[in-house]
Homo-oligomer: A and B are copies of this chain.
Amino acid sequence: MFQLHPQLAKDSFPILNLPLSTVILMNDARFPWIILVPERPNLVDLHDLKHDDYNALTREIRGASKAMAALFTADKMNVATLGNMVPQLHIHIIARYRNDAAWPAPVWGKGVAEPYETTAAEARINDIRVALQGL
C-alpha cells in the first residue's frame, strides 16, 4: 500500500491528488516548489513504473511544469528525480528565477529552507491547486 514517506510529509503541505500522483508543496518560501509522488508502493527509480503509470506520470509532469511556469512566470523550470536522500520515487518541479536564492545552482542543499507563514502557505497552496486541477 502506498504511504507518503515521512520525511516528505514532514517537509511539505498537501496540495491535491492527480490521477496517479499526490502533489505536495515544499515548505520553503524561497522557491515555488512542488513534488509529485506517484501513489504506488515500492518505487525507487523512474523506470520502475509500469508503462501505463509511466505515461500517466509524464503526462502529469508536463501539465504541472506548464502550469507552474505560467502561474509563477518562471524564467526556467527545473524538473528532477534524485531520491538520494528519500528513496521513495518523487519528482521535483521548481519554478526558478534568475534572481532567486540559489540561481544558477540547483536548489538542493543551498542555504536553509524558509518556512512559509501560515497565510502565505494557504494562498500558495490554493493558487497551485486551482492551476493543477483537472490535469
Contact = CB atoms under 8 A, between A and B. Distances in A.
Contact of A80 (B54, B63, B82, B109): B82
Prevailing SS type, chain A contact patch = mixed
A43 to B, nearest CB: 12
B82 A78 contact: yes
Nearest to A100: B84
Contact of A78 (B69, B78, B80): B80
Interface stretch (A8-16, A44-52, A116-124, A125-133): A44-52
B46 A54 contact: no
Contacts of A5: none
A85 interface: yes
Contacts of A82: 76, 78, 80, 106
A77 B45 contact: yes
Interface of A: 44-47, 54-55, 58, 61-63, 65-66, 69, 76-85, 87, 96, 103-106, 108-109
